[in-house]
A and B are shown apart, each in its own frame.
Chain A
Amino acid sequence: NAGVTQTPKFQVLKTGQSMTLQCAQDMNHEYMSWYRQDPGMGLRLIHYSVGAGITDQGEVPNGYNVSRSTTEDFPLRLLSAAPSQTSVYFCASREDRGLGNTIYFGEGSWLTVV
């Protein structure tokens, strides 16, 4: 099983450039989300989606856009990259509502903005 797949693994951007981090899952999960991880701050939620066509903001949404046109894909777009967006980004997915659903993470995307 592929699980949650993120691309690219590593990326260097110049300030002001735009790019898209791709995330795909093959588990037919309704719920998908994007997190960023910065040193000493754990993971912070950027955006999430509870199903195709539905997205919502997390803790730190500014500077990022998402869309959910299919159940499988949940891309994260950086509109105009800033050095403050240098971070490690993780995509995650899980099944429908329930008390015992495990969340699956991708391997991460390391982004540096110079």
Chain B
Amino acid sequence: SQQGEEDPQALSIQEGENATMNCSYKTSINNLQWYRQNSGRGLVHLILIRSNEREKHSGRLRVTLDTSKKSSSLLITASRAADTASYFCATLNFGNEKLTFGTGTRLTIIP
């Protein structure tokens, strides 16, 4: 079964707007990671947030983590056409060394 669930499943916004994607997970984690996948390509690591962190920034990306609610959000500010991709959250449980992915959010930026 999937550990994470992204919300929404699909999102279309105008270029320049902000995009927010949410991820919920089920079990205790050591870290949560966000990945981007362009159509027909591999996964690219975006940002990692540890379980003892609440917020992290990287360029136009902002990630939050609420371990009490078992949820995370990814905010992309000032979106660009090149941000069009699928975005996945993934959680790592060191107890069994499994990196478990959500089902992804398909983001489309309209020029």
| Chain A contact residues, CB within 8 Å of chain B | 31, 33, 35, 40-45, 48, 50, 56, 58-59, 90, 92, 97, 99-108
Binds A, one of B11-19, B44-52, B61-69, B72-80: B44-52
- Closest CB of chain B to A49's CB: distance in Å? 9
Contact with A along B80-94 (1 / 0, CB 8 A): 000000001010101
Contact-residue size bin, chain B (C-beta under 8 Å from the other chain): 20 to 34
**Once the chains are docked, how many angstroms separate the CA of A43 from the CA of B31?**
17
- Closest CB of chain B to A3's CB: distance in Å? 10
- Closest CB of chain B to A23's CB: distance in Å? 12
Which residues of chain B (10-51) have a CB below 8 Å from chain A?
A: 30-31, 33, 35, 41-45, 48, 50-51
Question: Which residue of chain A has its CB nearest to the CB of B99?
Answer: A103
Of the A-B pairs whose beta carbons lie under 8 Å apart in the complex, a sample of 6, sorted by A's number, is A31-B97, A41-B103, A58-B98, A99-B50, A100-B31, A105-B35
